[in-house]
Amino acid sequence: MRLAAELRRLRDAAGFTAREAATLLGVSSAQISQIEAGLTGVSEKRLRRLAANYVCTDEVFVDALVTMATDRTRGWWEDYRGLLPTPFLDLSELEHHATSLREVQFLFIPGPLQTEDYARAIFSDRVPALPGEELELRVRHRMQRKAIFEDPAPTPYEAVIHEAALRVRVSDRAASRVQLVRLLELSEANHVTIRVLPFDLDHFGGSWTPVMLADGAVPKLNTAVHDAPHSAAFVDSEAQLGVLRTLFHKVRDVSLGPDQSRELIHKLANDL
């Protein structure tokens, strides 16, 4: 879908109609529409021909699009195709391909950092209630998102978590303590940075927008995700991405440093 969106943007920027783009490739305008809707793929040869005729001179960007178009890797998330809503799978694929991830959450522990009991409590609270089989599928899927930390070349990940999310007990005391200990364990990894936004903070009117920023192979392929407990919404507009990056940095700049954050998380865990 992202490849489709980028090809559509290139065509619009070049001032071509779908019919004119179809003529360049010797195909029907319906086929161009299918490519730009993400319903069918495009070969490297055709993609490069389109990019050249759209006068896209950014060779690194075009190479990144070619990689997207020709990647036939079957990720672990494909096992859930037809079993879970598509946004869950898209989020997993995005995390897998991201070169770095930054996230801010105010009421929940970020998905990749959740323990199994925490995730099950989140999904169990849905109204109407999920069937037992689907609930377990969602929990299992969320646990597999930890793959980004376990890869031989793990994805750099930074999370800013409000103290409220650390204190809210989505389950019982024992599960909450295990979740906090899990955060402490992950924060020791070189590729993971966890910061806490404390209650004791003056002059913070709030940039209360939970968001994940996923850096792509090139800046033009950066994406933002509103990762809610039961869905995910994707943003790839450069204007909106700029706003969300600014909001993230605003929150990050007033959060506690990694060491202070660990101290606070440790204290909260001991209090339980």
Q: What percent of the chain is modeled with pLDDT above 70?
A: 99
- Please tell me what DSSP assigns to residue 83: T
Residues 191-231: tens digit of each pLDDT: 999 999 999 988 777 677 899 999 999 999 999 998 877 77
Calculate mean pLDDT across residues 92-121.
Answer: 96
| pLDDT score of 123 | 94
Report CA torsion sign: 79, 82, 85, 89. Answer: positive
Report angle CA 195, 201, 204 to the nearest 5 degrees: 95
Q: What percent of the chain is modeled with pLDDT above 90?
A: 86
Indicate the helix (H) or strand (E) that contains 159.
strand 157-162
| pLDDT score of 203 | 75
Give the separation between CA 12 and CA 18, rounded to whole angstroms: 9
The three-state secondary structure class of 210 is coil
Pairing of strands 100-105, 192-197: unpaired
What single-letter amino acid sits at 65?
L
Calculate mean pLDDT across residues 25-50.
Answer: 93
Alpha helix positions (H), 37-104: 44-53, 59-70, 86-97
Do the beta carbons of residue 197 and residue 251 sit within 8 Å? yes
pTM over 0.95: no
Q: Would you place residue 258 in the very low, low, confident or very high pLDDT band (cuts 50, 70, 90)?
A: very high
CATH code for the structural domain at 2-70:
1.10.260.40
The verdict on domain 80-271 having CATH code 3.30.870 is yes
* Domain definitions of the chain by residue range: 2-70, 80-271
What's the alpha-carbon Rg for the chain, to the nearest Å? 21
Pick from 115, 194, 192, 163: nearest CA to 271 = 163
| pLDDT score of 206 | 64
